[in-house]
Structure 1
Amino acid sequence: MEPNVYIFGPAFSSFVRSVMLCCEEKGISYRYGMSPKGQSIRFKSSEHRTIHPYGKVPALLHNERVLFETSTICRYLDACFAGPALQPDSILERAQLDERCAEISIYIDQTLIRDLVLEFAFPKGPEGKIRQERIDKTLPAARQTLQRLTTLLGEHPFICGQNYTIADALLTPVLDYVELLPIGKELVGTGRLQGYLNRMRARPSGMKVLNIR
């Protein structure tokens, strides 16, 4: 039977990958891409905005429902499907998870993906070259953000403690892309963050999703 979970968005998007990781961890069958009904939808077209009013990705299509915003989608999938829980039970711990997810989705994503990774991936300098001055300007904030992540991780195996959660699904594609940059290994280092990234890459979900290029 064809999966009725469709992740609208390209697989290279870090946020699309986060939803894919959640599906893999939960054992949810899914499809993804920009053709939910077999016909390609152009990015930011009117058809796109009927799915996501701001012309962003991802969006989730499931049983005639449409949801957008990555953390919302992941919380829905966790609640709607059987499989390992991706959220804690206690009210306080769930609030702390939501806080961590927001920090990753807003602040950490902006610094590491929007300001740094995308400058390498889609350079806008003369003749399509990377704008080194933009990179140099971003690096102090990137290093500060990575130090923040190192502090949050501490000695725990996962970013919110002892269990894999939605926050790990959000963070893993970000760190994976950063570490793959020409300056990535120097930025991530060889300590806790690299160990964490190695573990996330080695999970079955990581091996499947992060290797899509």
Structure 2
Amino acid sequence: MNHKPHILGPQFSTFVRSVQLCCEEKGIDYTLGTTYEGQMVNLADDSRYQFHPFGKVPVLIHHGHRLFETASICRYLDAAFSGADLQPESLIERADVDQWSNSLSLYTDRILVRDYLLEFAFPKGPDKQIRGEVVQAAEPAVMKMLELLDNQLGTKQFFRTESFTIADAILIPMLDYIEKLPHSARLFADLQYLPLYLKRIRERPSAKAVLVSRSQ
């Protein structure tokens, strides 16, 4: 039996990449992809519900157990494996990272990914063209969210703390995709801290291993 944790989901998913980042930071040997024990999980049909009650990704499979929700998966990995701690020791700092991990997974993901990035990745206009009106309507909220994140980061080396945490793992894949958009210079123009933060994180071995395209 393979005792490596398996991250079920496509590697391009921001949340799959968040779980990967946690594994890489802790030095966890893991497997990845939309196939598990010979079964291909098609995210477009009902087979996905065998692994996740709401048909989403990622799902972590470890020792026969299946876990869902990115922040919960990351907290499990942090507790179950040795290596770098991904949560602060201080209770109040840990609670702060925890609340932001959940908020990033909910509010930030909706604004940056669901309402904006997915229009570029999977456009739904005629002939699969990007719908300019959708992008234009979503962009004010995107810029407001980036400004909020910039303020919450401030001069700290990592998001809300001075060490890499689960909150960084959840945030960085979103920012990485946003910054790679052709017009990202305009989105980042008035931000003081996020551009350098993203640049610092991209230099980490974990990010170099994860923030790339690869076959499933």
Q: Distance in 1 between matches of 2:68 and 2:187?
A: 31
Please name the residue that 1:112 is paired with.
112
Q: CA RMSD in A?
A: 1.4
For 2:149, the aligned partner's letter is: L
Give me the identity figure in percent: 48
Counterpart in the other structure of 2:37? 37
CA distance in 2, matches of 1:35, 1:138: 34
Counterpart residue identity of residue 81, structure 1 = F
- Unaligned segments of structure 2, at least 5 residues: none
Aligned to 1:209: 210
Looking at structure 2, the residues matched to 96 and 162 of structure 1 have their Cα atoms a distance apart, in angstroms, of 13
Q: Which runs of 5+ in 1 are unaligned?
A: none
CA distance in 2, matches of 1:188, 1:73: 30
CA deviation map 1:109-168 (0-9, x unaligned):
111111111011111111111110111111110000000011000000000220100000
Shift of 1:178: 0.4
- Displacement of 1:44 in angstroms is 4.8
- Secondary structure of 1:32's match? strand
2:59 corresponds to which letter in structure 1? A
Amino acid corresponding to residue 203 of structure 1 in structure 2: R
What does 1:65-80 align with in structure 2 at a 5 Å threshold?
A: 65-80=65-80
Alignment of structure 1 residues 127-206 onto 2, 5 Å: 127-189=127-189, 191-206=192-207
TM-score w.r.t. the length of structure 1 is 0.96
Residue 159 of structure 2 aligns to a residue whose secondary structure is: coil
Report how far residue 173 of structure 1 moved: 0.1
Report deviation, 1:206. 0.4
CA–CA distance in structure 2, aligned partners of residues 88 and 204 of structure 1: 21
- Deviations, residues 164-202 of structure 1 (Å, cap 9, x unaligned): 000000000000000111222221237311100001111
Question: Residue 182 of structure 1 aligns to which amino acid in structure 2?
Answer: P
Report the TM-score when normalising by structure 2: 0.95
Measure the CA separation in 1 of the matches of 2:127 and 2:45. 28
Deviation (angstroms), 1:77: 0.1
Corresponding residue number in structure 1 for 2:12: 12
Consecutive aligned runs of 4 or more in structure 1 exceeding 2 Å deviation? 44-47, 188-191
Write out aligned runs for 1:92-103 (5 A).
Answer: 92-103=92-103
